[in-house]
Amino acid sequence: MQRSKVIFNSTALRNKILSNAVALQNARFIAYAEEEVQKIGTAIHQYHSRHNMDRHHNLLDSLCWGVTYHGELVGSGFYREKLATQPSYLHEWFSGDEKYLYPVNGHQLAEDYIKKYGNQGGKNGWKVFFAILAPYWGYWEKGFTLKSHFGGGSQFVQFAVMAEAYDQIRSDLRPARKYYFNSSVPKYDHAVLQKRWRRYAGF
């Protein structure tokens, strides 16, 4: 009676199991990010009619998400399809002179951010990120004093939607080891805006 020899490749089996586990976890994080970005966008949109935060649609066009594994982008997307038909401006009330306007193309900012942040390399497991890139959102996030031009005094206004989302996401993704939150508030004076305009204009 002839005996057959069975060769068991433990390395191949281990790699197959790991690959399946990674694919499953990727899908879970992607589904989570897609759901969470809708919650963030809805929270911001609730203030739209009263404060015109998304008047030209570039604000919510710039809201995006991404999932990376070992520094490679495995999934990404946006809160919605692009709606803006023209740029909005960071300093539209700063001056009547066009040279001081800072154009904001929300969807393009989101695309650029995903490409840059989503492929940074490194063997560091998974990253799940959310970002809203229209620079004027920083003022809403940190808060500012809204001055009335009609004799009504001033009022401190703040909608810390991303900070609240950060707290929730950090709780959802425990025991992840690292969390980062950054809210940028652009600050310019006429000299800086003049220099920026000259660079855009090609002088």
Instruction: Count the neighbouring beta carbons within 10 Å of the beta carbon of residue 101.
Output: 20
> How many whole angstroms separate alpha carbon 191 and alpha carbon 189?
6
Please indicate, yes or no, if residue 133 is contained in any of the structural domains. Answer: yes
Residues 60-104: tens digit of each pLDDT: 999 999 999 998 999 999 999 999 999 888 765 555 555 556 788
59 has pLDDT over 60: yes
Answer yes or no: is 1 within a domain: no
Per-residue pLDDT, 98: 59
104 versus 19: the higher-pLDDT residue is 104
Read off the pLDDT of residues 152-162 as tens digits, 9 standing for 90 and up: 677 777 788 99
pLDDT of res. 6: 60
- Residue 6 maps to a domain: no
- Nearest 5°: phi and psi at 65? -145, 165
58 vs 11, higher pLDDT: 58
CB atoms within 10 A of CB 48: 13
Give the per-residue pLDDT at 53: 76
Domain count for the chain: 1
In-domain check, residue 178 = yes
Report pLDDT digits (tens) over 43-52.
988 875 566 6
Residue 9 in any domain: the answer is no
What is the pLDDT confidence band of residue 148, given thresholds at 50, 70 and 90? low
- Does residue 20 belong to any structural domain of this protein? no
User: Domain range holding 59?
Assistant: 29-201
Is the model's pLDDT at 132 over the cut of 60? yes
pLDDT score, position 45: 84
Which of 134, 133, 169 is CA-nearest to residue 33?
169
Over residues 160-178, the mean pLDDT reads 89
- Please indicate, yes or no, if residue 10 is contained in any of the structural domains: no
Is 184 a domain residue? yes
pLDDT tens-digit readout, 25-43: 999 999 999 999 999 999 9
